[in-house]
Structure 1
């Protein structure tokens, strides 16, 4: 496991490399961000962005989504995995936002998790990106990087999330999950991590590091 000073170094280097990291899902407001994150489950951000490019030009509120309807929504997102279930969830969550939340996305994790298709990870992403909360949304990339490097080992995503919340210095928490996702997606890849080009290679505890 990484020590406190190593964790400081770890994030300081990721910050220097990418001072203002951004999520890769396209959106126009908190509502479309919520929809995009729900659609991204078991799908790539690139695939979701292709599907929502036209959708978000005509739909940017819960009311417009409900008016569009489930059938036409499916036509927009049919290239995304599990599109039938996701379409149902998006229509239902839109109806709930209208009925119970004045058509606004709640700034509350517990309330967000009551919406169809929204779990803890999705809620954390929305809170972080839409509202600037220092939440950490643990996906497969963050889970892998946290365990592989010794940053925050844990047997499941919740354990890793809690370990990161405890160990990551406050000044790095706002962007923590973006840095780790991007690092896992492009450098610390699942099958063959690109260790020679990794900026935290020397503090990483991974025993199977790749070489040139």
Structure 2
């Protein structure tokens, strides 16, 4: 009996050494996406409790953090004053365009006093490509004067002092506070406002009301990064016109899936052209990360 068992063991060992079993790996298939408008929050008859809304908002933020782990302000700057100036210029202008102008601008006007003493025509010519350059020129000279005369040449560090500067609103102030001084704040720009309304986190159009509602939903320590992540998503996936719903990694959490954009995956994938495209598509279930 023992010899028979040894013979069988030897036979199986030889078989395993000479025969390789190939296991076919399953192919990555496109995810099953929800039907347009199928999320419960999109149902007018469904009343979401304040606690449920807060939990959903924070879950969205956690998912966004996976998609955009390196989200940041996309304006180039090295000092609080440079960030303040760049943010003022970014009104009705892309960050890319602003970044093409600021190297020369910052070299010509390195301090608040330099803006205060600037020749309006010369300054306007430098910032002309950003649009609305006459109004922006007045804002830069005005804020430079205020900072030089009232704040010792240093950009103030409080919301109240910042919004008192010419041309500076709450959005600009929160950008500066969050990115130059590490003071958390919600930055309500056109992208963030559009997305949080699509996600049914607010119904308000007024940026101040949107900001206050989001401050109740998102943890204070996350305010700045939440803003960056939402803005990143708005620029890369959830576009103003025809958002890429069918290739969005937030599809299952979105109450507006397919209502404003395209639920077709192929068409949606073509609309995502950012450098982190492969990562975003992998999170949505297309390809590998």
TM superposition shift of 1:155: 3.3
| Distance of 2:248 and 2:202 partners within structure 1 | 18
2:103 maps to which residue?
53
The alignment status of 1:210 with 2:258, answered yes or no, reads: no
Kept after mapping to 1: 8 A contact 2:187/2:224: no
* Greater displacement, 49-58 / 88-97: 49-58
TM superposition shift of 1:53: 2.2
Q: What secondary structure does 1:78 align onto? A: helix
TM superposition shift of 1:23: 0.9
Kept after mapping to 1: 8 A contact 2:184/2:224: yes
Equivalent residues, number:
212
| Distance of 2:149 and 2:137 partners within structure 1 | 18
Shift of the 88–200 alpha-carbon distance from structure 1 to 2, 3 Å rule, reads: same
1:86 maps to which residue?
136
* Greater displacement, 67-76 / 138-147: 67-76
The alignment status of 1:192 with 2:242, answered yes or no, reads: yes
The alignment status of 1:155 with 2:205, answered yes or no, reads: yes
Kept after mapping to 2: 8 A contact 1:152/1:167: no
1:182 maps to which residue?
232
Q: What secondary structure does 2:251 align onto? A: coil
Kept after mapping to 1: 8 A contact 2:116/2:148: no
| Distance of 2:82 and 2:61 partners within structure 1 | 30
CA deviations over 1:15-43 (Å, ceiling 9, x no partner): 11222311111112000111111111111
Q: What secondary structure does 1:153 align onto? A: coil
Taking only aligned residues, the RMSD between alpha carbons, in angstroms, comes to 1.7
In structure 1, list runs of 5 or more residues that go unmatched.
Answer: none
2:157 maps to which residue?
107
In structure 2, list runs of 5 or more residues that go unmatched.
Answer: 1-40, 42-51, 265-289
1:168 maps to which residue?
218
| Distance of 2:244 and 2:192 partners within structure 1 | 16
Q: What secondary structure does 1:133 align onto? A: coil
1:8 maps to which residue?
58
1:119 maps to which residue?
169
Kept after mapping to 2: 8 A contact 1:149/1:206: yes
TM superposition shift of 1:47: 1.4
TM superposition shift of 1:61: 1.2
| Distance of 1:12 and 1:186 partners within structure 2 | 18
Kept after mapping to 2: 8 A contact 1:20/1:175: no
| Distance of 1:157 and 1:51 partners within structure 2 | 27
TM superposition shift of 1:112: 0.9
Shift of the 84–67 alpha-carbon distance from structure 1 to 2, 3 Å rule, reads: same
The alignment status of 1:98 with 2:148, answered yes or no, reads: yes
Larger Rg: 2
| Distance of 2:141 and 2:54 partners within structure 1 | 45
